[in-house]
Structure 1
């Protein structure tokens, strides 16, 4: 390990209610929700009929007809987010040694929308037991291999260094960035394009979450359906989105006069080896990930100014991570603002970890903590400061963001302000 410090110098975001960083931050800082009734397909057969969809026009976003034809929606989101991040960074990727430029993209469910749609076509709406492959699009193979996401991003920026997809469920967006940080620290690359993308709002995904009653059935009030930490919460709202970052070594960024959003100073991931979907209420595994991330960042828990919670809006998750914050931060947990942006943009599975990193960097940039929307009813088991309803002006120099995923994955990341970094 070289001990090199890794910073964020470019951000690109496509999220429900906010295509681009500016609109994304406007939504969060104003406490608006982007959850609504599903429009992508007829949701009538399903228990949960709400989602957080992006009003995304691929052609208007600069994708060519061939790119639109070739790529699943999740890959399209990743490419548009990548272009915004690179432009925001001011980095001339074309002038770089391509072997020193790498890519890591996280995704929990890959090309779900494309696969679902193509199955409908080749099976004649499910009527054929033996599907007719002649009706499939020529690029169907790319839908089967999530590695195509990383390949598309690498082609878009001319990266010939390490190119990887990280798929660890709902922590994929944190873990992909964490992996990119390690490659930079060890000196294997000079710049990483890192982030995540998922577009899972499809019949098959809704059916799967319906079966285990993980998503909310609050269909009569879609905009109030996502209620993390609220006493009336009853499941999460499925979302979609992508966030991509330009990551580079601190001194290199300073030499080229780049704007630095934040340093990624600590990261850790743990697994509870307990249950595919269940969580222990004591939050021990998440607490351990937080402690290790803090140790890597070389800061004490009482230095954390804001916690971006996983905050899915399921009873067991919100209880689990509340306990984890208390275990890892002690009494300081009670004095630290905590919020969940899933209350506004839903849960985009593998993408949400990266979208939340973007939210943290922007919270630091603006010294504003985004709120937890729809939090009206206190829950005695969730007794921290969850910043209900309205954003809060708050000096934010050090941020903790966490993720929790099916399979028992628990990840934590620490972001810190770099002194002297100004727009």
Structure 2
């Protein structure tokens, strides 16, 4: 019998509230968590808005030692992983620990730690030669993205394969796709998977300012990001983490686990075209969608909902609209398609997993979450983007797609617990 990978636990740490339930409540409400940046003074930057998390790691179960040695991105992942394992009902020890792995995604790893410590070691940038005497003892953890997987493995007791996947803004989809492959191939029975990023820092904002990808709508932070809207001006950075417990179906069924959804298909492509540019025809994303559907055994007419990348940049919105039309044909016009980045920001490598969590919850609750701030549609974006108000709908098959700098295009198909059963 072919092995299958199902989601049995979800943990989310995102703007608007810590935990899966506050995250879901925010999405359904259509309210946005974007605001003027408080982590540092953003006055010198073109974009001064982001979706931040009000997060105290000590209040959310981390030890002082964990806080001292880890970057904010790792801390977010630890909190999400703890919630996900608790939600799954698994006790990871003994033989199960040997059969449990970790696969996490991150685009920028320990950026926050590295930037903060560089400022200290260089005396605020005045000294060319850095003085290591001022370095914190665990600075290397910020430098090595693999430390995120190691820390999650330590906290959860997972002794199986552990890795970090970094493919820019598709990292959160690619990590879950890779984890599902390990489960289906028999390399693990359980995978703790997802992604995390905490990119809200001066260096990250400067990078996005330089290519004018971020919105400069600083006078109205709540509506700064407007996916698929005629008046959009760019994306808004966010931070966050989503961790899923991915489990072999028969293993989950035998213990009576709650199944949110099955990871039924996954594919990735690269457009080999441009570091930040996208081809207008959406061909590479469409190919990833087609391959993910084929692996899941789905036809275009089976798709009930598409979770959009929906970054709020003109080239991305038009690119993925073209890709969905190319893959789903006429069915694209009958399929709701919405994005959550206007609500929780674009947390780079983390957002793909946050969106997968949103899709699994949408399947569970039978609700399509809205695209916030969509008031005047771009004529070139002519699909059903579920503007501003959530919609009840039975969801048996869902697609989520991602697009990343470097030309990365990824797609993942989720099917309902009814199909998994």
Q: TM-score band (shorter)?
A: over 0.9
The CA distance in 1 between the partners of 2:101 and 2:170, in whole Å, is 20
Alignment match, 2:40: 41
Equivalence map 1:117-266=2 (5 Å): 117-266=116-265
Hey, what does 2:74 align to over in structure 1?
75
Q: Give the CA RMSD over aligned residues.
A: 1.0
Q: How far did 1:95 drift?
A: 4.1
State the SS of the aligned residue for 2:93: helix
8 A contact 1:106–1:350 mirrored in 2: yes
Distance across 2 between alignment mates of 1:85 and 1:159: 13
Superposed CA deviations along residues 220-270 of structure 1, whole A, max 9, x for unmatched, are 000000100001111100000000010111111011010000001000000
Q: Are the equivalent residues in 2 in contact too, given 1:259–1:421 (CA < 8 A)?
A: no
- The one-character-per-residue Cα deviations of 1:188-236 (angstroms, maximum 9, x if unpaired) are 1111000100000000000000000010000000000010000111110
**Offset, 1:420:** 8.1
Distance in 1 of aligned mates of 2:419 and 2:285? 32
Q: Give CA deviations for 1:269-297 in whole Å, capped at 9, x if unaligned.
A: 00000000000000000000000000000
Range moving further from structure 2, 348-357 or 89-98:
89-98
Gapped regions of structure 1 (runs ≥ 5):
none
Question: Given the alignment of the two structures, is residue 8 of structure 1 paired with residue 7 of structure 2, yes or no?
Answer: yes
Output one character per residue of 1:143-163: Cα deviation in whole Å (capped at 9) or x when no partner.
111000000011111112110
How far apart in 1 are the matches of 2:45 and 2:227? 22
Separation in 2, partners of 1:419, 1:329 = 23
d(CA) in 1 for partners of 2:231, 2:310:
14
Residue in 1 that maps onto 2:418: 419
Contact residue 249 and residue 420 of structure 2 kept, 8 A: no
Is the CA contact 1:94–1:157 (under 8 Å) kept in the aligned structure 2?
no
Superposition deviation, residue 68 in structure 1: 0.4
4+ residue runs over 4 A deviation: none
| Paired position in structure 2 for 1:109 | 108
Change (3 A) 1:103 1:129: same
* Residue in 2 that maps onto 1:398: 397
Q: In the aligned structure 2, how far is the partner of 1:346 from the partner of 1:189?
A: 33
Mapped partners of 1:362, 1:18: distance in 2: 16
Distance 1:330 1:336 in 2: 10
Residue 57 of structure 1 aligns with which residue? 56
Q: CA deviation at 1:133?
A: 1.1
Count of residue correspondences: 421
2-structure distance, mates of 1:328, 1:233: 25
Mean CA deviation greater in 79-88 or 412-421:
412-421
Secondary structure of the 1:280 match is: coil
CA distance in 2, matches of 1:232, 1:287: 26
CA distance in 2, matches of 1:59, 1:243: 19
**Cα distance in 2 for residues equivalent to 1:418 and 1:113:** 38
**Preserved contact between residue 241 and residue 353 of structure 2 (Cα < 8 Å):** yes
Cα distance, 1:94 vs structure 2: 2.1
Label 1:138 to 1:406 Cα distance change in 2 as closer, same or farther (>3 A): same
TM-score using structure 2 length: 0.99
Local SS of the residue matching 2:203: helix
How far apart in 1 are the matches of 2:35 and 2:93? Answer: 41
